[in-house]
Chain A
Amino acid sequence: MWGKTITSFGVTAIICSTMKRPWLGVLALVVLAATPATGHHSFAAQFDRSKPIKFTGKVTKLEWMNPHIYFYVDVKDEATGKVINYACEGTAPNTLYRNGWRKESLKEGDIVTVEGWRAKDGTNLMNAGSVVLADGKRVFSGSATAP
C-alpha cells in the first residue's frame, strides 16, 4: 500500500563487497531496510548505493530535527585503535514520530549496528537504512508499535 510505504520500509537485498576495514565485515549477504523516503532531495545526489557500509559502535549524539534526524556513532578500528565518528542521516522526525519513535528510542551511549550507504563526497557521513540496538531491537524503521 503506497500510503504505508511512505513511512514503513521495504526490504532490499544487497551483497556487500569485501571491505578493507575489519569492523566493516567481509563478503556477506546483508538485508537492509530501503532508503528512508524523505522527499527532501534525491538520494543519489548525496549517497552512493554502490558503497554500502556496516559498522557497530557507540552513539555519541542524536539530533532530532528537520529535515532529517542525525545521529553520531563512534566506531573503533580494533587494529589501529583509531576512532571514527560517523554522522548517520535518518528520515524526517515528523515521520518517525507518527510511527511511534521518540528521541529516547536511541540514546547516547547505546551500542548500535548501523547499515546503510556512504556519502558520495567521501566524508564520514552515511545514510542509515538499518539501526539495530545491542539487544537486537530495530529502531527508526517501520512502526514502533508494530508486532
Chain B
Amino acid sequence: MLTVLLLTLLQVSTPDFNGFWTNQYTPDLAQAFGKQPPFTPHGAQRWKDVDTKDDPTAVCLPVGPSRAFTAPFPFQLVQTPKLIAFMFEYQTIYRMIYMDGRPHPPDIMEYPEFMGHSIGRWEGDTLVIDTIGINERSWLDTAGHEHSGKLHLTERIRKLDDNRLEYKVTFDDPVFFTEPWSLTRTFTRGKDTDRIMTYSCNENNKDVPHLVGNKKAPEEEKK
C-alpha cells in the first residue's frame, strides 16, 4: 500500500515527458559546440583520418545512444515510474532507461552494446541519464566524430514548456577527449496524430557500393 502511494506521489511530482518528439538534426556536433571537441592526440588523429564512407549507419548498424537524439527522425517517449523507453524511428531501435535504482551490469564494459546501458534518476524536474558500455563502433554524428569504449554519457532532459524538451548531453571519454564537453539541443513535440514509422534500412540500401568516401570529409558537413 505504501509502495503504491509512493509511486503515485512520484508520478505526480515528476513531469510527464510522454509523447512524440522531433529531434533537432545535428549532422556535425562541432558545429553545435562552436568548435572541435577537446581532442586528445589520439582523438585528433582519428578525426583527421576518419572516412565518412565508413559511417556505421550507412550499413544500417544501430545509431548509438546520443546520435539517436540528433538524427533527422522522431522518437516516441514512453514514461513509467520504473522505466523510460525511447523508441527511435531511425534504424528502428530503442533505449531503455532503468529508473528502478539498479546499477549498470558489472560486465557491461566487456559486453558493450550499440546503444549502451542506461540508468536514470530525477533531479527535481530534470531527468538525468547515465550511460556506459557503448560499442565503440558507433559514431557520435554523421560528420564522423568517433569515441572509445570508455565513453560515458550524461544526458539531462527537462521541459522548457509543454511542447519543447531541452536535451543536454555531456561526452566524457578520456581516450578521445581531454575533458568532458557538452552541447544542448531541443526536442519539439509532434502532433497527437503523429506516429513512429518503420525505418527498414536494409529494404533498399543501394548506397553502399557508391560510397567513395572522403578522408577530409567533415568540412562538407558544415555547409
Give the B-binding residues of A (Cβ under 8 A): 2-3, 5-7, 37-46, 49, 63, 65-68, 70, 87, 89, 92, 94-95, 97-98, 119-121, 123, 125
Query: B170 to chain A: which residues have CB within 8 Å?
Result: none
CA distance A97 to B74 in the complex (A): 13
Query: A97 to chain B: which residues have CB within 8 Å?
Result: 197
Query: B204 to chain A: which residues have CB within 8 Å?
Result: 63, 65-68, 70
The 3 closest A-B pairs by CB, nearest first: A44-B220, A42-B52, A41-B58
Known pairs A2-B24, A45-B214; A98 contacts B199 (CB<8 A): no
How many chain B residues touch A (Cβ–Cβ < 8 Å)? 44
Give the A-binding residues of B (Cβ under 8 A): 22-25, 27, 51-53, 55, 57-58, 60, 71-73, 89-90, 142-144, 185-186, 188, 194, 197-201, 203-207, 209-214, 217, 220-221, 223
Nearest residue, chain B, Cβ from A12:
B223
Interchain nearest-CB distance for A120 vs B (Å): 4
Known pairs A6-B22, A39-B57; A44 contacts B89 (CB<8 A): no
Interchain nearest-CB distance for A96 vs B (Å): 11
Asked if A38 and B214 sit within 8 Å, CB to CB, the answer is no
Main secondary structure of the interface of A (DSSP, over half): mixed
Query: B188 to chain A: which residues have CB within 8 Å?
Result: 2-3
Query: B194 to chain A: which residues have CB within 8 Å?
Result: 98
Query: A67 to chain B: which residues have CB within 8 Å?
Result: 60, 199, 201, 203-205, 207
Asked if A45 and B212 sit within 8 Å, CB to CB, the answer is yes
Interchain nearest-CB distance for A121 vs B (Å): 5
7 A-B pairs within 8 Å (CB atoms) are namely: A3-B186, A5-B25, A6-B72, A40-B57, A41-B57, A94-B73, A120-B212
Query: B205 to chain A: which residues have CB within 8 Å?
Result: 66-67
Asked if B210 and A125 sit within 8 Å, CB to CB, the answer is yes
Known pairs A49-B220, A94-B89; A6 contacts B58 (CB<8 A): no
Asked if A42 and B207 sit within 8 Å, CB to CB, the answer is no
CA distance A9 to B185 in the complex (A): 20
Asked if A44 and B217 sit within 8 Å, CB to CB, the answer is yes
CA distance A46 to B205 in the complex (A): 13
Interchain nearest-CB distance for A92 vs B (Å): 7
Asked if A66 and B217 sit within 8 Å, CB to CB, the answer is no
Asked if B25 and A45 sit within 8 Å, CB to CB, the answer is no
CA distance A37 to B73 in the complex (A): 10
- A41-B55, A44-B52, A67-B199 given; 5 more Cβ-contact pairs under 8 Å: A2-B188, A41-B211, A42-B221, A45-B51, A45-B213
Interchain nearest-CB distance for A115 vs B (Å): 17
CA distance A93 to B207 in the complex (A): 15
Query: A49 to chain B: which residues have CB within 8 Å?
Result: 220, 223
Interchain nearest-CB distance for A29 vs B (Å): 18
CA distance A46 to B214 in the complex (A): 9
Query: B144 to chain A: which residues have CB within 8 Å?
Result: 42
Looking at A3, A46, A89, A92, the one whose CB has the most chain B CB atoms below 10 A away is A3
Interchain nearest-CB distance for A44 vs B (Å): 3
Query: B89 to chain A: which residues have CB within 8 Å?
Result: 94
